[in-house]
Amino acid sequence: MHSERINFILFFLTSLSIIWVVVVFVVLLVKYYRTNLREREIKEEELRQKLTQSLNEKCQIERKQFDREQQLKREVTKMKETVSNCQRDIEMKEQILNTIYEDYDKYAVINALKNKKILTKQDWIVFRTSFDMIYPKFVSFISNLHANITSQEIKIFVLSRLGFSYVEQARMLGVTEQAVRRVWYRFRDKNNIAKNKHIFEYINEITIDKIEEI
């Protein structure tokens, strides 16, 4: 009986020890798992933070690069506009200079013609050649407009187109001022032009909408 009791106690103690060992093992295992899980979570969080930071840095770099490209495009566009404006300014200035040169040449020719005499057929041919350099289509325009125009009337129209007064025309043609006026009066009457119409006014009316060469 005493031996059985001792065996029971030994069995109980042995079982209790085993249970204690198992409990301790389980507790240690759980603690290890939790510790390992926490470390893994920390590492994963650090990795996520690094990845997020890397993505943010990449986005910032790409954004800066995009901004630089857009700025460059704007600068290129602005430069193109500036170049285009400069080209237009240059073309405009060239046109102005060409006009000035043409006007200067025209004035020089007109000033030279003012001192000419038109007394012979050859004088008229030479004069017409110079006149046609300034207004190459005027004589044909007047001739087509008035089929009945005479050679003397053409001369008066040509001289008036140059802006020469009746006095200057008379001197160049070797006639009186009144003779010049009579040529215009006859032309005016046969073409039903108002009697108060001056030849310079008439020329301006018929050429105002035409090209400059007329």
Average pLDDT for the chain: 83
Q: Is residue 47 part of a domain?
A: no
**pTM to 2 decimal places:** 0.53
Are 157 and 166 in contact by the 8 Å Cβ rule? The answer is no
Cα–Cα distance for residue pair 202/208, rounded to 1 Å: 10
Please check the confidence at residue 102 and state whether its pLDDT lies above 70. Answer: no
Per residue in 136-155, pLDDT (tens digit) is 999 999 999 999 999 999 99
* Banded pLDDT at 101 (limits 50, 70, 90): very low
Looking at mean pLDDT, say which of 6-20, 42-56, 85-99, 160-174 comes out highest: 160-174
Are 157 and 135 in contact by the 8 Å Cβ rule? The answer is no
Per residue in 36-68, pLDDT (tens digit) is 778 787 888 888 888 888 778 888 888 888 888
> Number of structural domains, the chain?
1
Q: Is residue 144 part of a domain?
A: yes
DSSP 82-99: HHHHHHHHHHHHHHHHHH
| Ramachandran area for residue 135 (φ above 0: left; ψ -120 to 50: alpha; else beta) | beta
Q: Is residue 123 part of a domain?
A: yes
Q: Which domain holds residue 175?
A: 117-207
Per residue in 194-206, pLDDT (tens digit) is 999 999 999 999 9
